[in-house]
Amino acid sequence: MSIAKITKIAFALLLAGACNSAQAHSFSLLMLAQFSQPQGQSELQGFLLATREQDSHEDETSDGHLGGLDVHILKLDSSRGDDGLFDAIKETIPEHQPMFASGSLEGGRSRKILESKAVVLVEPQQAAYWDLYSTHPEQISLMNGDSFARAYRDRYATAADIHAVRGYLSARLIARVIRQSNEAQRGNPVWLKQAILASLQAQTP
């Protein structure tokens, strides 16, 4: 084998290793919300509140951190209907390879394509604590023990509604699973789905 060919192979392996290393420290997420309506912005704000609680630093290029990893949020407007959302998901997944999707889905096609592409849908409204926290946001504590309702009002100058609660709790579920996982587990959608389901049974986020 020629020296030039060996050099090309070595460079390709080095580049692949660099890409894998970058992916190991970040992940992408689909946020499915009604962004054409105020509730979509509320849900995003709730989610972002959690991504900025821990591990944040200056000059971030991501949308914050969950579980110690950079998270990149891909916003898809669920108000376009199931067919429109299905098409948007189908177009987005190949390029960005999202690990999770956050939001509430009513349409069957959108839900099915997430399952077929091994994207784990996180639905905090299935959590054991949803009924309490969705009606009493003041009962939710941040990771450091402070009040979620107060922190949300301080940051966004408005009270947290049910959509903000859903966004925040979704992020907390993901943060819990990411922090408790290793790199191999994060690459296994079956493991991730089971870990999310188990976290939904916890009494607190």
- DSSP H helical ranges for 73-161: 81-96, 108-116, 130-135, 148-156
Please tell me whether residue 95 adopts helix, strand or coil conformation: helix
Q: Would you tell me the crossing angle of helices 38-51 and 162-179 to the nearest 10 degrees?
A: 30
Q: Identify which of 145, 183, 152, 156 has the alpha carbon closest to the alpha carbon of residue 168.
A: 152
Each residue's pLDDT expressed in tens, for the chain with a length of 205 residues:
555 443 343 333 333 333 333 346 899 999 999 999 999 999 999 999 999 998 666 666 899 999 999 999 999 999 989 999 999 999 999 999 999 999 988 778 999 999 999 999 999 999 999 999 999 999 999 999 999 999 999 999 999 999 999 999 999 999 999 999 999 999 999 999 999 999 999 988 8
Angle at 27 between CA 147 and CA 21, to 5 degrees: 125
**pTM score, two decimals?**
0.86
pLDDT of amino acid 35: 95
Distance of CA 159 to the CA centre of its chain: 23
Amino acid at 152: Y
* CB 163 within 8 Å of CB 194: no
pLDDT of amino acid 82: 93
pLDDT of amino acid 7: 39
